[in-house]
Chains A and B, each alone.
Chain A
Amino acid sequence: MRKGQYNAGFVEEEEMKSNLHKHVALATVALAMTLGANAAHAQEKKTVAYLAPSLDISYWQWVGYGVKQKAEKLGMDYVELTSENSPAKQMDNARTAVTKGVDAIVIGPVSSTSTPPLLAYLKSQNIPIAFAGIGPQPGQTDYTSSVTANNYETGKAQGSFVCKLAKERGGNQVGMLSLPQDRENAQKYLKGAEEAFKADGCDLAQMLETRGLTINEAVTQANDMLTAHPDIKAIYGMYDEAGTGAAKVLETRGLTGKVGIAVADGSPTTIGLLKANAIQGIFFQEAVGQGIDGTQQVYNALTGAAVKKDLALVMPLVTADKVDSPEAKAVIARVFPPAN
């Protein structure tokens, strides 16, 4: 009896062990299959890295927003690295991104001249790269796509608009609050604007270059410019803060509307000023749009679809009377994220 009981207990124990082994084996197989499937899925999912020159400027945050949104739509993972305005850090970031296994890069470079070694490295690693905002150094070809604003054509269009504003206000003298002229985009803006002024019969009375890109500096410069040249009838703002600063000065001097303002870039602040008729036009730089388009191009390169190498976007003008139109809203959606 005891023996029988013992035997029965032994058999039960053996069966239990056998079942347990079966379950463990099944669970292991299932786990392995799941992990394998996940690994395969992870292998399929592409990653795009956004290398920003610095994230303390809204513009580069907005480009990043565009990259991230598009990456999500395309089923890509997104990583972000900032170069802190250092070409060396930019290069380190590119190497870090490649080491992490990213499949493509969208970059707002520190400068055009900082790009040749970066492009050579990424070519050696077979990583597609799209530029956003600032293009590669002229002569470079080892990139997938360059999505930038057409600064020359925008400069021309903005120059014509500013000249028109001056003439509507009974003069032909215009002033300019410029980006630093050591920048290629600033030189192109200026070249286009000067050609437009000449063609349309306006004189550029004075141009002052910013150093700090702050509203406070623009206020001081606009004040000084109007003191030295009281006949100025319109102001060309080459960057967003210039428009805000100039509008503030005109308000203080009781000249709002009497001196026209057109500004490049665009932000919630300047859109507010446009709606209040404190400035007359904004030439929008599509920061979010550049991020979206750049991401699409590197994705195309990864999937073998057609790629557009150079996309020079002419910055669309939105005037005060059309700021609430559906067209203007569509433009603004490509400028900054909705939370702004």
Chain B
Amino acid sequence: MTQNTTQTSADQGQVAFQIRHRESIIGSYRTEIAIAIAIIVLALAVGSQVPQALSWGNFANITQAGAPLIIMSLGVLLVVITGGIDLSVGSVFSLTGMVTAQAMAHGFGGFEASLIGLSVGLVFGSINGFLVTIAGLAPFVVTLITFAVAGSLAFIVTNGRSMPIGDPDFWLLNSGSLVPGMPNYILFCIVLLVAIELFLKKMVAGRWFYAVGSSAQAAHLLGIPVKRTMFLAYVASSLLASFSGLLTISYILNAESTAGSSLMLQAIAAVVIGGASLLGGTGTAVGAVLGALMITVIQNGVNLIGINSFWQGSVTGVAILIAVLIDRFSKSRRGAG
């Protein structure tokens, strides 16, 4: 009898723990769930006007169009969580494409050229990280400088001309299938999403990013390597921007010096829509990916319905406003509770 009672209590405790765990997951992803619902509502609204919007083909369109932005947003997120900003990602994206295409034009194979392209991200990320952490310059100023320099170099590399991709197999990077049935661009997005989310949530080094963003001084007093963490954030951001650029040129088999010009603001917008604060200390990879998806769905919807594309910026602006208001409202409720 006593044993039965004990058993029942243990079961109840287990159930209560599971419910609390589920609630804590839901609670910690409240903003992301709201964005996911908003995306679904948006897609349904577009689908009510243009039925093809809900087709499998259009899903492929959205994921393909959104993949570079998703990857870039994940990098920008890391910087934003530490309380910084990276304005150079669009230019690094363009320069990577131009350098990679130029390397192929000089006889390098796709793989070697890609490594050369990725080195652009490594170099610019290191410059950003060095100037912010060692020289102590403001991230806005530093990345504004590298934005200008990388953007300028993207023109210099080929004198402003677009460059076709020389390696005929280079399309496999984007559209091949390392996992049967799944195009690589989706695979890369999923792998990076899971890896960065787990890193931020489950690993000590990931937690340092939040600590640095919440208060660099406090983090320093706690023994967290603040400068190293910030440096890594900038390097990761530029590397992911470079990778995003590689994926894009692999898709369209052309490199353009202006290709990334609109992506920087979109990436920052995606991160903010996803619940990250530009003051640092908050944000999730899931949120950044959903933010990027929302921007892509808006662009897709505007095109499908046939609204003048100049409205895209306004619609995206309203989406950011709504996301920020939802986030603020939910935080104030939690605070009141």
Q: Residues of A with Cβ closer than 8 Å to B?
A: 55-58, 61, 180-181, 206-216, 219-221, 223-225, 227-228, 230, 241, 244-245, 248, 252, 267, 269, 272, 340
Q: Are A58 and B300 in contact (CB under 8 A)?
A: no
Given the interface pairs A220-B65, A227-B52, the reply to whether A180 lies near B252 with Cβ below 8 Å is no
Given the interface pairs A224-B300, A269-B254, the reply to whether A216 lies near B259 with Cβ below 8 Å is yes
The 8 closest A-B pairs by CB, nearest first: A224-B303, A220-B65, A228-B304, A223-B61, A227-B52, A227-B58, A215-B252, A228-B50
Q: Which residue of B lies closest to A223 (CB)?
A: B61
Q: How far is the CA of A66 from the CA of B40 in the complex (A)?
A: 53
Contact partner of B160 (CB less than 8 A), chosen from A58, A209, A216, A248, is A58
A residues less than 8 Å from B299 (CB atoms)? 220
Task: Choose among A209, A212, A340 the residue with the greatest number of B CB atoms under 10 Å from its CB.
Answer: A212
Q: How far is the CA of A228 from the CA of B159 in the complex (A)?
A: 37
A-B contact count, CB below 8 Å? 94
Q: Are B256 and A215 in contact (CB under 8 A)?
A: yes
Q: How far is the CA of A214 from the CA of B90 in the complex (A)?
A: 14
Q: Which of B75-83, B128-136, B307-315 lies on the face that meets chain A?
A: B307-315
Nearest Cβ distance between residue B194 and chain A, in whole angstroms? Answer: 26
Nearest Cβ distance between residue A50 and chain B, in whole angstroms? Answer: 15
Q: Are A210 and B52 in contact (CB under 8 A)?
A: no
Q: Which residue of A lies closest to B162 (CB)?
A: A269
Q: Which residue of B lies closest to A182 (CB)?
A: B310
Given the interface pairs A211-B309, A214-B256, A244-B254, the reply to whether A223 lies near B65 with Cβ below 8 Å is yes
Q: Can you name 25 A-B residue pairings with CB atoms under 8 Å?
A: A56-B155, A56-B257, A56-B258, A57-B160, A58-B160, A181-B308, A208-B303, A211-B309, A213-B258, A214-B256, A215-B162, A215-B252, A215-B256, A216-B256, A219-B251, A223-B61, A224-B61, A224-B300, A224-B304, A225-B303, A227-B57, A248-B252, A269-B164, A269-B254, A272-B164
A residues less than 8 Å from B304 (CB atoms)? 224, 227-228
Any A CB within 8 A of the CB of B223? no
Q: Mark B133-167, 1 if CB is under 8 A from A, else 0.
A: 00000000000000000000001000111101000
A residues less than 8 Å from B254 (CB atoms)? 215, 244, 269
B residues less than 8 Å from A245 (CB atoms)? 252
B residues less than 8 Å from A58 (CB atoms)? 160-162
B residues less than 8 Å from A206 (CB atoms)? 306
Nearest Cβ distance between residue B119 and chain A, in whole angstroms? Answer: 22
Q: Are A230 and B52 in contact (CB under 8 A)?
A: yes
Q: How far is the CA of A223 from the CA of B53 in the complex (A)?
A: 11
Q: Mark B319-335, 1 if CB is under 8 A from A, else 0.
A: 00000000000000000
Any A CB within 8 A of the CB of B273? no
Q: Which residue of B lies closest to A245 (CB)?
A: B252
Q: How far is the CA of A248 from the CA of B174 in the complex (A)?
A: 14
Task: Choose among A206, A215, A216, A340 the residue with the greatest number of B CB atoms under 10 Å from its CB.
Answer: A216
Any A CB within 8 A of the CB of B215? no
B278-326 CB contacts (< 8 Å) to partner A: 299-300, 303-306, 308-310, 312
Q: How far is the CA of A22 from the CA of B242 in the complex (A)?
A: 72
Q: How far is the CA of A224 from the CA of B155 in the complex (A)?
A: 29
A residues less than 8 Å from B61 (CB atoms)? 220, 223-224, 227
Q: Which residue of A lies closest to B258 (CB)?
A: A214
Given the interface pairs A58-B161, A58-B162, the reply to whether A228 lies near B303 with Cβ below 8 Å is yes
Any A CB within 8 A of the CB of B261? yes
A residues less than 8 Å from B305 (CB atoms)? 228
Q: Are A227 and B53 in contact (CB under 8 A)?
A: yes
Any A CB within 8 A of the CB of B253? yes
Nearest Cβ distance between residue A145 and chain B, in whole angstroms? Answer: 27
Given the interface pairs A215-B162, A228-B50, A228-B52, the reply to whether A221 lies near B252 with Cβ below 8 Å is no
Q: How far is the CA of A199 from the CA of B248 in the complex (A)?
A: 40
Nearest Cβ distance between residue A214 and chain B, in whole angstroms? Answer: 5
Contact partner of A61 (CB less than 8 A), chosen from B50, B65, B160, B306, is B160
Q: Which residue of A lies closest to B49 (CB)?
A: A228
